[in-house]
Amino acid sequence: MDEPKAIRKITELLPPIAINIDIPPNVFQERMAELAGESGNYELQTFSDSMCMDIINFIPRENLGHDDLHGQLIYEHKKENQIRVEIRARAWNPEYPTRVIYLEASHHIFDGLIKTYNSKYKKRYHIRVVKEKSPNLPPKATKALKNFALLANKNILHKLDWERLYQFVRVCHATRTNPSKGLIWGMLSKEGFDDKKAEYIADVASHLLDFMKYK
């Protein structure tokens, strides 16, 4: 797959979404979870990392044909005026959802809750797509990722493979580069990883990059 096509496919899958707020993020999360519980239309899961973020999963009763569809409200502790939104599924239908399908799922999960929230608390919150930066890595980060991909065992990553991935994360941190999960995923697919493995590695790298922000 050529590089522009690979990156376009993945960045369509994961457009960055957020909700701008003017109250403490944890209060917004708690209120949204309370409204979801009252509706009876969601299961909820809560995850917390005291160093960097709090996450609540909203699992809707209706999954739009996707397996284990759920939306996440993510409070990154250094962002006091924004909640990040991510939509996930164990398996999408179709396998590679377009940007339209991804956004449709986000609105399906959260629009009703936000409408109820706004009515109850006299707000005007809404989901918005965050303006995306140019999907390019600086030369040092590109070299580190290509080095990882070239030398990695693409079936089972070994210790040295993981160390090369960590080096890529260190280079990104040192150069103040914050590539999206979608960009990493697309580049790894282009370098020969199958899409499932590329997604998993991109997910790990993305979480490590988030963690490095709080060191």
HEC secondary structure over 120-162:
HHCCCCCCEECCCCCCCCCHHHHHHHHHHHHHCCCCCCCHHHH
List of the chain residues with pLDDT < 50: 1-12
Tell whether 152 and 105 lie within a shared domain: no
Which tens digit of pLDDT belongs to each residue from 11-47? 445 678 999 999 999 999 999 999 999 999 999 999 9
Structural domain boundaries, residue 155: 139-212
What's the domain count of the chain? 2
Tell whether 53 and 113 lie within a shared domain: yes
pLDDT of residue 108: 97
In a domain, 80, yes or no: yes
In a domain, 81, yes or no: yes
Which tens digit of pLDDT belongs to each residue from 70-79? 999 999 888 8
Could you tell me if 40 and 67 are in contact, meaning their C-beta atoms sit under 8 angstroms apart? no
Tell whether 95 and 47 lie within a shared domain: yes
Residues of the chain by 3-state class (helix, strand, coil), percent to 5: 50, 20, 35
| CA–CA gap between residue 130 and residue 103 (Å, rounded) | 12
Tell whether 162 and 194 lie within a shared domain: yes
Q: How far apart are the first and last CA of the chain?
A: 37
Q: Where are the beta strands (DSSP E) in the chain?
A: 17-20, 42-49, 53-60, 70-76, 82-88, 128-129
Tell whether 41 and 107 lie within a shared domain: yes
Tell whether 107 and 172 lie within a shared domain: no
> Which of 109, 129, 149 is a domain's end point?
129
Peptide bond into 94 cis (omega under 30): yes
Q: What is the pTM of this model?
A: 0.65
Tell whether 109 and 154 lie within a shared domain: no
Tell whether 40 and 107 lie within a shared domain: yes
3 state DSSP class of 32: helix
Amino acid at 119: S
> Which of 129, 154, 169 is a domain's end point?
129
| CA–CA gap between residue 157 and residue 161 (Å, rounded) | 6
H/E stretch holding 38 reads helix 25-39
In a domain, 194, yes or no: yes
pLDDT of residue 7: 43
Tell whether 67 and 152 lie within a shared domain: no
pLDDT of residue 81: 93
> Which of 65, 96, 129 is a domain's end point?
129
Contacts of 17 (CB under 8 A, 6+ apart): 84, 85, 86, 87, 103, 106, 127, 128, 129, 130
Tell whether 110 and 45 lie within a shared domain: yes
